[in-house]
Amino acid sequence: MRILVAAERLGHAGGMERYLDIVLPALVARGATVHVLAREIDAVPRGVTAERVAWADEHDAPGTTARMEALRALEAFAADVAVAHNVMDAGIIEALRTAPRLAYHVHDHRPFCPNGDRVFPRSGRICTQPLGRPCAVHSLTDGCAYGPRRRTLTLIRRRERLRDAIAAADATIVASRYVAERVLQSEIPPERIVEIPLPLPDDAYADHPARRSSREIVFAGRVVPQKGLDSLVRAVARIAPERRPRVRVFGDGPALAGICAEAARSGVHVEAHGVKPPDVVRAAIDGAALVALPSLWAEPFGYVGIEAFARGRTVVAYDAGGVRTWLDDGVNGVAVRAGDERALGDAIDALLRDGTRRARLAQRARADAERFRTAPVADALIAAYRGA
């Protein structure tokens, strides 16, 4: 099978790039020949070839030149299937549709949300409306996109063109039931929606997870308001001072400095380690009692959750978006109402005080992590690409 992949970026910048770094070599190992078109290339996964094509940014109009380059690459490579990963240029998707088969991976909310995060700017509420007219209404009531301006209507029309291009694909691949529901709302045929979870490489798994009695919790992710690190700090501040855990933060972002200052004022010990490679984050998870996922937006999946599971650690999370794809409340972790900082603090405190319950949840979490190994995910992708 010859697979032409289009992706925003190859490298180590974020979740989608890491996904490609795991999945593409696994497809090659199954006999596929993989060539990638990308807007930016930092590093190319083993066994894969790549070239740069500068298509439009998510807020810009599709361009003719990039579309022609994609058509040229598709013809030269003689692909059996074209696969797009969150490509936001509708012209590129329309060009890839000329391949014998086309699959589109939805990694986040941007393809069907002009805001990109499904959060209303003024209220902070999570949007569950379909793309289209509701976006225009909420630009007036909630300041979505560019607010009540002509630019907003232009952006909505561009997203609608992208939606129509995705709807013409043979398969739309999502990682969670939550994202599948949002995709279905935006008029993607239900029979073409395929749910395949995110993968973890074998080295992400701890064969014999060590039991820890530490009072450390780990937060890993980009430090932006949607990820809720500030909410986690306020939740921890509600715990009695003598029982407050140390919060180890792995990630960076514009909100980090302010959150560290708030933590210092609140008496919460935060260690900010910045962006670290996976092995360093895994070692930190191994040394922690649990992992916190306090996302205030509708997490498309929540990658760090299954990474914690693979290390034999349970997770306390806000119940938002696709988190319930892998978190079973009271069975392998704890989910509380999104934004309820008192409940989040109480859940963390209770687990830290009850080592027996924490160990039981962690044991089940480690067992549940097995379904996210790369091999079955890659097999499912090959089947979806073939149309099985």
| Helical residues (DSSP H) of the chain, grouped into ranges | 15-29, 64-77, 90-96, 133-141, 150-167, 177-185, 229-237, 256-266, 278-286, 303-310, 341-353, 355-368, 374-386
Q: At 352, is the secondary structure helix, strand, or coil?
A: helix
**pLDDT tens digit sequence for 264-321:** 999 999 999 999 989 999 999 999 999 999 999 999 999 999 999 999 999 999 999 9
**170 and 319 in contact (C-beta within 8 Å)?**
no
Number of neighbours of residue 267 by Cβ within 10 angstroms: 10
- DSSP label of 369: G
Give the model's pLDDT for residue 140.
94
Over residues 239-265, mean pLDDT: 96
Tokens encoding 102: 């086309």
Q: Which two tokens stand for residue 345?
A: 């603090």
Residues of the chain with pLDDT > 70: what percent? 99
Q: Could you tell me where in the chain the CATH 3.40.50.2000 domains are found?
A: 2-199+373-386, 202-371
Q: Does residue 388 register a pLDDT over 80? A: no
106 CB-side CA count, 13 A: 37
Q: How confident is the model at residue 81, as a pLDDT?
A: 97
pLDDT in tens, 208-224: 877 766 899 999 999 99
pLDDT digits (tens, 9 = 90+) for 14-24: 788 889 999 99
Which CATH number applies to 2-199+373-386: 3.40.50.2000, 3.40.1350.10, 3.40.50.1110, 3.90.320.10? 3.40.50.2000
Neighbouring-strand partners of residue 319: 337
pLDDT tens, residue by residue, 45-67: 999 999 999 999 999 999 999 99
CA distances from 296 to 119, 253, 281, 339 (A): 9, 16, 22, 6
In this predicted structure, the answer to whether residue 13 has a pLDDT above a threshold of 70 is no
Q: Which residues contact 207 (CB under 8 A, 6 or more apart)?
A: none
CATH number of 202-371: 3.40.50.2000
- 88-145 tens-digit pLDDT: 999 999 999 999 999 999 999 999 999 999 999 999 899 999 999 999 999 999 999 9
Contact 150, 141 (CB under 8 A): no
**CB-CB contact of 27 with 3 (8 Å):** yes
| C-alpha torsion 271→275→278→280, nearest 10 | -40
Contact present, 223 and 232 (Cβ < 8 Å)? no
* CB count in 10 Å sphere of residue 100: 12
Buried b (16+ CB within 10 A) or exposed e, 138-154: bbeebbbbeeeeeebbe
Residues whose CB is less than 8 angstroms from the CB of residue 323 and which lie 6 or more positions away in sequence, other chains included: 293, 295, 299, 301, 302, 305, 317, 335
What tens digit of pLDDT does each residue of 148-198 get? 999 999 999 999 999 999 999 999 999 999 999 999 998 899 999 999 999
- The residue assigned the tokens 């807020």 is 59
152 is written with which tokens? Answer: 């907003």
Q: Which residues pair with 2 in a beta bridge?
A: 33
Over residues 237-264, the mean pLDDT reads 96
Contact 220, 281 (CB under 8 A): yes
User: What are residue 307's DSSP bridge partners?
Assistant: none
* Three-class DSSP category at 126: strand
In angstroms, rounded to a whole number, what is the distance separating the alpha carbons of residues 363 and 358?
9
